[in-house]
A = this chain, B = another copy of it.
């Protein structure tokens, strides 16, 4: 929106001219989304705490026993993150390109699925069934993928980091590929969200790395110089990536150990879909595996645990899955596990950005 205002007013007032720059709007995105979460969270926390006490609190299933002390910590803080992302992207991204609206829809859709689960959990503890949740994710991701394919006419090739000459055209199957990415990332972030501050920081570092790459991919000179695939208007996605960083920092202010609120499924599903969409729309689908490596490992730990348990009829690879609970049961203090996983996610982001030069 401000981009358009900048276009209209640039000849009148000099200051508005800078609104045309992606870098400037990306900076504003960090600040605006940070302030929105910082200011709204305390109000929100008071409301949800009251609801929590009314319905008797909730402890996440399949967590170590020590987690029972988190019973009355308000959840659904992700609502504020999502609100902050939607507001700042509509305020700062260009409104005349499909990317802005498809991103907004996808994040909103996944957040709604998560919100329904969170809301039902308030009363009946169990939430909605795994099947209904998956159905919701399939519907939203199908709509998003169709919009990308039929409306935005997205390039259906997959490009490979490090192998510049390699590309693969998926054709119609690209729709299924998009759905898989969105469902996988949203569930992976959801699984990771099990310790105070654990999910939000890797989400920020992943969004930051993908944001930088989107900026490069959307700049024809930089893209040619670094030999990565040029994608028209991908630069606008950098603004969204920085909004995730800002909203994440504001949320972390309250979510860091000991947490005063959790993001809930509304946050983790919405954020996961956002990360998937950033990678898809900048045609960096495979880079997501490196940048979001923490989520990949967390999800894999669950898959390995469940598979081995079924095959061996009862053997466990980890003391508990996802893997962060394994570390917890090994005796490492919660805040230390969390910061160590942050360190790994920061290294992955640095590595992802550095590969731009190495590809």
Contacts and interface: CB of A to CB of B under 8 A. Distances in A.
A1 interface: no
Contact of A27 (B31, B257, B258, B354): B354
B24 A358 contact: yes
A55 interface: no
Copies of this chain, complex-wide, total 2
B253 A343 contact: yes
A179 interface: no
A350 interface: yes
A335 B257 contact: yes
Contacts of A347: 30-31, 34, 249
Given A335-B258, A335-B335, A339-B197, A351 B253 contact: no
A249 B346 contact: yes
**From DSSP, what is the main secondary structure of chain A's interface residues?**
helix
Interface in A286-301: none
A69 to B, nearest CB: 13
Contacts of A350: 27, 30, 245
14 contacts: A21-B357, A24-B354, A26-B354, A27-B350, A27-B354, A31-B347, A34-B347, A197-B339, A245-B350, A249-B346, A253-B343, A256-B339, A257-B257, A257-B336
